[in-house]
């Protein structure tokens, strides 16, 4: 996919900025190995380049058209396209007759000499005349009329291959697309699509910190660019579905900026829950519920929500009609032909837009390394049948609280096996409540019990549905495993089903949870049953289906780290998208899109804000940086009194360290520092003692150099100096 072929148009405005420039987040200081630099990504994929596309196979039936380039742009007839190779097959049809005639029996070995062969009726009919053996009676004759229809159908097939050519190429419009989260990472999805006067923010998601971000619970995207946008354009928030990595940052955005919000009822209900929790319930007045399959005029765009299948109910892809052409954004999806609620992905709408011609497709890259297709959610139900049959005692099932179809499948098994259902865990309870209120969970009240009622029933009459499938320490399942749960004490007869896979980064905590559950003697059902969990994201075959239904001119793989989007780009090339019309982006990249080109025009500020979930407050960057220093290099504290008169220390300084030198070396280290300060004071000009801040800085620098030299560490150094 790499394309270093830059033309002048590409290189302008690209500057030397790195994608994260302008972002002061600590992340910058500790480069995230997952965040890759895509210096080699394809640059401007416009139509000026003459590079032939190696993936575009010549159509053997198509005569070369010297007046058209690959983008369908008619060129001057006087300049034939030097890149088009002559098509050696172009005379195929003309030669058909000869070929058929000439081929007769050339490759066929006569078999009438083999023993046991039945006599050949043809030969008998021909009177056994060997001279006629080369002239089969039923040879296909390609006459002029047949040839005409072969050519007509070839043309029809050819025309269906690039429906984007139906787009009005003369359109003068321009749109810009800027991912502010979700590229170069999994999660934290947020992107802006804008015309001259309108900007839509597609999803406002959160992501999880890495292990160096101590005390940080979640990350939300940097909203700086949205502050700029608000001054210039009409801005709207467009929600595709209710997953945390698509709506989790909404309260934090609305504390800074408010916009009208559009989405399906479940997604907005889940945002409402968040707003209530953050004391923002007044902003539910910004809600606009959408109707699927209907175009909503939002600013100067027409937006349609198209139902898709994903690991949450009411998930949608977007079709955005703009002046410049139609944009399709799949958002998160898979193609489940047998979904639990029978509402399949609305592929007919995808086909409808594809047929009309789509300028650009943005598609989910999360599972782009997975060959084949992701399995239907229904297979998990079959696994539950097996597991419920095997379980003798209580069944405790844990999954993502938003995966309501998964939860419903477990609940339905509970009902058929005569088990009462107890839902435990704040987010699980809230999600089930919301989905029941909206009619997505159709299980009668009588099947549910409260947690304190569990002991009233026999073990084989209980299903507990709970949170904590990622090993989260505060979640109910972990508290049960550590015997800290107020109501539920684990028993060796319990079967714990973990119906999830560890999100990258959570493997260790899931493993630790498994250890605790197994130590408690429970039967843990996890990965040994292949279909205990299925993904909600499309594998390669599903990605191909969407690529072929839409067959866009331009393609932007979204949602994923660099390796995911690069793989998705290769799949797109296999599906006939010109590789020059694909761009691999990072957060903060802004691209401009017209009917003629797709190119990066600038980089806007992007990055992450740290959130402490205990108080829903922001943690400033410097706090996280200090924590990183403390955790990795320790701290040195120095308190000293210095006489201005004698320029010497009064008494011994108090020197303490944590996380830097072992206790037994404390005295030695203190002496070194003391001598160092004495030397520093001896060589100091008297006027330097006028300002204790200056002298603190001098002492800090000296200690820093000493520690780097002797210990190769960079501790936090805090000198406190009193000048008397
Ligand atoms: Zn999702």
Separation of CA 347 and ligand 1 centre (Å):
18
Beta bridge partners of 603: 589
Give 555-590 pLDDT, tens digit per residue. Answer: 999 999 999 999 999 999 999 999 999 999 999 999
**Single residue among 508, 530, 552 that ends a domain in this structure:** 530
Using DSSP bridges, classify how beta strands 234-238 and 261-263 pair: parallel, antiparallel or unpaired. Answer: parallel
Tell me the whole-structure pTM to 2 decimals. 0.76
On whether residue 155 sits in a domain, the answer given is no
Give 249-266 pLDDT, tens digit per residue. Answer: 999 999 999 999 999 999
Percentage of the chain lying above the pLDDT 70 cut? 81
Separation of CA 205 and ligand 1 centre (Å):
10
pLDDT at 52 over 80: no
Q: How far apart are CA 78 and CA 66, in angstroms?
A: 10
Question: Residue 54: CB partners within 8 Å, gap ≥ 6?
Answer: none
In eight-state DSSP terms, residue 163 is G
Q: Both 397 and 413 in a single domain?
A: yes
Q: What is the 3-state secondary structure (H, E, C) of 80-139?
A: CCCCCCCCCCCCHHHHHHHHHHHHCCCCCCCCCCCCCCCCCHHHHHCCCCHHHCCCCCCC
In eight-state DSSP terms, residue 383 is H
Separation of CA 316 and ligand 1 centre (Å):
10
Question: What is the crossing angle of helices 562-574 and 540-550, to 10°?
Answer: 50
Separation of CA 536 and ligand 1 centre (Å):
7
Query: What is the domain-level CATH number for residue 227?
Result: 3.60.15.10
Mean pLDDT of 657-671: 88
DSSP string, 423-476: EESHHHHHHHHHHHHTTS----GGGB--GGGGGGS-GGGEEEEES-TT--TTSH
- With beta carbons less than 8 A apart as the criterion, state whether 514 and 526 touch: yes
Q: Both 405 and 497 in a single domain?
A: yes
**Quick one: residue 599, left, alpha or beta (phi over 0 = left, psi -120 to 50 = alpha)?**
beta
On whether residue 558 sits in a domain, the answer given is yes
Q: Both 187 and 248 in a single domain?
A: yes
Separation of CA 403 and ligand 1 centre (Å):
10
What is the overall mean pLDDT for the chain? 83
Residue whose structure tokens are 């938003």 = 402
Q: How far apart are CA 613 and CA 473, in angstroms?
A: 13
650 or 271: whose pLDDT is higher?
A: 271
Separation of CA 627 and ligand 1 centre (Å):
32
Query: What is the domain-level CATH number for residue 426?
Result: 3.40.50.10710
What does the pLDDT read at residue 38?
40
pLDDT at 72 over 80: no
CA angle 46, 52, 57 (to 5 degrees): 115
Q: How far apart are CA 177 and CA 481, in angstroms?
A: 46
Q: Both 393 and 348 in a single domain?
A: no
Separation of CA 421 and ligand 1 centre (Å):
26
Give 376-396 pLDDT, tens digit per residue. Answer: 999 999 999 999 999 999 999
- With beta carbons less than 8 A apart as the criterion, state whether 536 and 376 touch: no
What does the pLDDT read at residue 516?
95
Closest CA to 284 of 304, 267, 302: 267
Q: Both 214 and 246 in a single domain?
A: yes
- With beta carbons less than 8 A apart as the criterion, state whether 599 and 44 touch: yes
326 or 56: whose pLDDT is higher?
A: 326
- With beta carbons less than 8 A apart as the criterion, state whether 235 and 226 touch: yes
Give 609-619 pLDDT, tens digit per residue. Answer: 888 887 878 88
Q: How far apart are CA 194 and CA 202, in angstroms?
A: 11
Q: Both 421 and 499 in a single domain?
A: yes
Q: Both 400 and 289 in a single domain?
A: no
On whether residue 484 sits in a domain, the answer given is yes
Distances (CA, A) of 379 to 338, 343, 469: 10, 16, 19
Separation of CA 583 and ligand 1 centre (Å):
23
Q: How far apart are CA 612 and CA 239, in angstroms?
A: 24
What does the pLDDT read at residue 239?
98
Separation of CA 672 and ligand 1 centre (Å):
57
Tokens of residue 45, six digits: 């994929």
Which range among 236-240, 487-491, 675-679 shows the weakest confidence by mean pLDDT? Answer: 675-679
Closest CA to 470 of 521, 506, 421: 506
Which range among 50-54, 649-653, 667-671 shows the weakest confidence by mean pLDDT? Answer: 50-54
pLDDT at 364 over 90: yes
pLDDT at 43 over 90: no
Mean pLDDT of 650-654: 88
Separation of CA 47 and ligand 1 centre (Å):
35
Separation of CA 311 and ligand 1 centre (Å):
7
Q: How far apart are CA 510 and CA 507, in angstroms?
A: 5
Model confidence at 132, in pLDDT bands (50, 70, 90)? low
Q: How far apart are CA 714 and CA 300, in angstroms?
A: 54
How far is Cα of residue 576 from the mean position of the Cα atoms in its chain?
A: 23
On whether residue 85 sits in a domain, the answer given is no
On whether residue 588 sits in a domain, the answer given is yes
pLDDT at 66 over 80: no
Query: How many separate domains does the chain show?
Result: 3
Q: List, edge to edge, every strand of the sheet that includes 360-364.
A: 295-298, 301-307, 316-322, 325-329, 360-364, 554-558
Separation of CA 312 and ligand 1 centre (Å):
7
Model confidence at 166, in pLDDT bands (50, 70, 90)? confident
226 or 698: whose pLDDT is higher?
A: 226
In eight-state DSSP terms, residue 334 is B
Query: What is the domain-level CATH number for residue 694?
Result: 3.10.20.580
Q: How far apart are CA 674 and CA 572, in angstroms?
A: 66
**Single residue among 473, 508, 530 that ends a domain in this structure:** 530
Q: Both 520 and 593 in a single domain?
A: no
CA angle 425, 427, 432 (to 5 degrees): 95
Q: How far apart are CA 562 and CA 185, in angstroms?
A: 8
Q: Both 415 and 542 in a single domain?
A: no
Q: Both 427 and 466 in a single domain?
A: yes
**Single residue among 512, 530, 548 that ends a domain in this structure:** 530
Q: How far apart are CA 127 and CA 292, in angstroms?
A: 71
Mean pLDDT of 514-532: 93
On whether residue 189 sits in a domain, the answer given is yes
Tokens of residue 309, six digits: 């299948």
Question: Residue 382: CB partners within 8 Å, gap ≥ 6?
Answer: 531
Separation of CA 217 and ligand 1 centre (Å):
20
Q: Both 547 and 675 in a single domain?
A: no
Q: Both 218 and 347 in a single domain?
A: yes
Mean pLDDT of 664-686: 87
What does the pLDDT read at residue 211?
79
Q: How far apart are CA 398 and CA 469, in angstroms?
A: 5
Mean pLDDT of 455-471: 96
In this structure, is the dihedral angle defined by the CA atoms of residues 55, 61, 64 and 67, taken in order, positive or negative?
A: negative
Ion ligand 1: residues, Cβ under 5 Å: 243, 332
Range(s) of the domain holding residue 675: 634-723
On whether residue 626 sits in a domain, the answer given is no
Separation of CA 28 and ligand 1 centre (Å):
27
Q: Cβ of 163: how many Cβ atoms within 10 Å?
A: 20
DSSP string, 505-567: T-HHHHHHHHHHHHHTTPEEESTTSGGG---SS--HHHHHHHHHHH--SEEEEESB-HHHHHH
Separation of CA 187 and ligand 1 centre (Å):
9
How many Å is the Cα radius of gyration of the chain?
34
On whether residue 29 sits in a domain, the answer given is yes
Tokens of residue 422, six digits: 């107890």
Tokens of residue 721, six digits: 């100096």
């Amino acid at each position: 996919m790499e394309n270093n072929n830059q033309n002048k148009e590409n290189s302008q405005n690209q500057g030397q900025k790195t994608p994260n420039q302008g972002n002061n987040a600590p992340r910058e200081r500790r480069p995230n190995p997952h965040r890759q630099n895509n210096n080699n990504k394809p640059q401007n994929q416009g139509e000026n380049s003459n590079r032939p596309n190696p993936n575009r196979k010549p159509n053997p039936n198509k005569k070369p058209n010297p007046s058209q380039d690959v983008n369908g742009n008619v060129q001057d007839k006087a300049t034939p396209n030097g890149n088009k190779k002559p098509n050696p097959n172009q005379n195929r049809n003309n030669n058909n007759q000869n070929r058929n005639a000439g081929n007769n029996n050339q490759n066929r070995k006569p078999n009438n000499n083999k023993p046991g062969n039945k006599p050949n009726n043809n030969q008998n009919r021909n009177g056994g005349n060997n001279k006629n053996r080369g002239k089969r009676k039923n040879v296909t004759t390609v006459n002029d009329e047949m040839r005409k229809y072969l050519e007509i159908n070839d043309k029809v097939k050819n025309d269906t291959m690039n429906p984007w050519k139906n787009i009005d190429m003369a359109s003068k419009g321009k749109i810009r697309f800027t991912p502010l989260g979700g590229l170069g990472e999994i999660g934290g999805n947020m992107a802006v699509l804008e015309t001259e006067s309108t900007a839509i923010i597609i999803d406002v998601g959160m992501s999880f910190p890495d292990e160096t971000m101590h005390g940080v619970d979640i990350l939300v995207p940097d909203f700086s660019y949205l502050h700029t946008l608000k001054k210039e354009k009409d801005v709207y928030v467009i929600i595709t579905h209710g997953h945390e990595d698509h709506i989790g940052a909404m309260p934090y955005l609305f504390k800074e900026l408010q916009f009208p919000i559009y989405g399906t009822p479940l997604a907005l209900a889940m945002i409402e829950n968040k707003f209530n929790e953050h004391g923002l319930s007044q902003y539910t007045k910004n809600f606009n519920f959408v109707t699927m399959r209907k175009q909503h005029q939002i600013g100067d765009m027409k937006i349609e929500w198209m139902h898709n299948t994903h690991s949450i109910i009411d998930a949608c892809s977007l079709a955005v009609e703009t002046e410049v052409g139609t944009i399709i954004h799949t958002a998160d999806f898979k193609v489940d032909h047998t979904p639990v609620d029978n509402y399949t992905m609305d592929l007919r709408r995808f086909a409808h837009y594809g047929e009309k011609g789509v300028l650009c497709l943005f598609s989910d890259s999360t599972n782009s390394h997975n060959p084949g297709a992701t399995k239907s959610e229904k297979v998990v139900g079959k696994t539950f049948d097996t597991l419920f049959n095997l379980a003798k005692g209580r069944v405790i099932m844990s999954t993502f609280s938003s995966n309501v179809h998964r939860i419903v499948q477990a609940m339905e098994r509970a009902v058929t096996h005569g088990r009462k259902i107890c839902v435990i865990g704040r987010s699980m309870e809230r999600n089930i409540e919301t989905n029941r209120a909206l009619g997505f969970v159709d299980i009668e009240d009588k099947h549910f019990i409260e947690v304190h009622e569990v002991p009233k029933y026999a073990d084989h009459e209980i299903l507990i549905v709970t949170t904590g499938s990622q090993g989260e320490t505060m979640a109910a399942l972990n508290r049960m495993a550590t015997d800290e749960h107020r109501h539920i004490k684990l028993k060796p007869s319990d079967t714990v089903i973990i119906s999830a896979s560890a999100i990258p980064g959570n493997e260790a905590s899931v493993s630790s949870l498994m250890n605790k559950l197994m130590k408690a003697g429970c039967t843990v059902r996890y990965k040994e049953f292949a279909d205990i969990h299925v993904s909600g994201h499309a594998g390669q075959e599903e990605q191909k289906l969407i690529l072929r239904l839409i067959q866009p001119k331009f393609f932007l793989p979204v949602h994923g780290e660099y390796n995911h989007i690069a793989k998705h780009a290769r799949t797109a090339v296999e599906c006939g998208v010109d590789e020059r019309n694909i761009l691999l982006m990072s957060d903060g990249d802004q691209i401009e899109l017209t009917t003629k080109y797709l190119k990066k025009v600038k980089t806007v500020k992007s990055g992450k804000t740290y959130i402490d979930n205990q108080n829903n407050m922001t943690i400033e960057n410097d706090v996280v940086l200090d924590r990183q220093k403390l955790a990795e290099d320790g701290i040195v504290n120095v308190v000293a009194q210095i006489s201005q008169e004698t320029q010497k220390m009064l008494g011994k300084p108090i020197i303490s360290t944590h996380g830097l030198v072992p206790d037994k070396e404390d005295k030695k280290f203190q002496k070194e520092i003391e001598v160092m300060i004495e030397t520093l004071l001896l060589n100091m000009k008297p006027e330097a003692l006028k300002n204790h801040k200056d002298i603190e800085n001098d002492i800090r620098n000296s200690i820093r150099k000493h520690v780097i030299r002797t210990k190769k560490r960079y501790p936090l150094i805090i000198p406190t100096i009193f000048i008397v």
